[in-house]
Structure 1
Amino acid sequence: MNKEKRYKILSLFFMKYPEPKTDLVFTSDFELLLSVMLSAQSTDLMVNKITKKLFQIANTPEKILLLGTKGLKHYIKGIGLYNIKSSNIIETAFLLLTKYNGNIPNNRIELESLPGVGRKTANIILNILFKKKTIAVDTHVFRVSNRTNFATGKNVKVVEKKLIKVVPNVFKLFVHSWFVWHGKHICTARKIKCHICLIFELCEFKNK
């Protein structure tokens, strides 16, 4: 895909969704971090269902630690990988309190040093909380980027690298949210809704 077509696609998204937001429901930095950690191999809908009850009881590092691993598991057992997630969340809460005064680190190295926080999670936190021009590549972003021919690659790291290179700075803050929304609602894994696609004329998917 050429530079001009990419710019037109991003312009269309900007005009349609000038202020895109994550589907995750949160009211604090810590709540967002936990929500993103819980979202691995799960849907935002399920995470919101879990956190709606959890955050009423524990929504700070201190309260999470008071719950303990067993107590936390009780609230998140309906989500995938809840055993490892509960351990990671407890360890992360401890580190945030003892090392970062309860605050979420605003740089990649420190974020990725937290248990259960990988590159994708760090990118989302940096993007949403700290307005960094990072582009997290999840399954939706990966699918939309490859299918449309916007930025192709065999793995998420390659696609992320290409997106960072080809997306103009003015759009970098929003690309993740746009592509996630598009991948969830239009350019889905199976029943693709090409007939109502915002970028149908510009998309280079051969089977559209």
Structure 2
Amino acid sequence: MLPLECIVLLDKDFVDDTNICRQDYYPDDVGKRKVDVLASRPSYVESVIPVFQFIDGQDSLADVIGKYCINLVVQAADVPSTAGMARLINMVCDRCGVPYIINPGYTGGAISLPEFFYPNCGYGYVSSHLSVKGRRLLQFQKGKLSFRLCSQLSCLVAQQVDDYMYHRVPKRYGEKGYFDTGDFTWHTERVTERVKGEPAGV
């Protein structure tokens, strides 16, 4: 719903029965390409481009970024794994000089905080998850939430995108944590301050 020039939706999957209610799909959507269904929805975006493709490595993602002149990548995929996809995005976005938002999603009663990263900075996904000191806030739960309970995550991603568009520090930059659907509150901790390599103004 942001007034963007273009969004590229990238996925090679079809809507099935398990997506109904849990995600933003309806019974009539079953069997259709997910990207086509979402691209057909009302939007403030000038152009929504559905790309029916599976990312099988760094080169395929880099090709898509180059082909469509993408200047911000938002993770919404967990195949082959959420962490594996996050690492791949980190590497490719550093290579292409594109910022990215790692969006781990949700399990049980907790929604992971989407994290904004600038390319080629000391504070990136890999370094922040493997090297940056600080206590991580983690939730280990089973089951999945209805997408309708994930509006806080969507709003935060939208805020991060909007902040980036207007050269502001992205909301909750340098924080880790989760949104607890029990008390409807973000539980986060700051794990880094400004680090060398970040763009001016951060």
| TM-score normalised by length of structure 1 | 0.29
Structure having the larger proportion of residues in strand: 2
Structure having the larger proportion of residues in helix: 1
State the structure with bigger RCO (CA 8 A, min sep 6), 1 or 2: 1
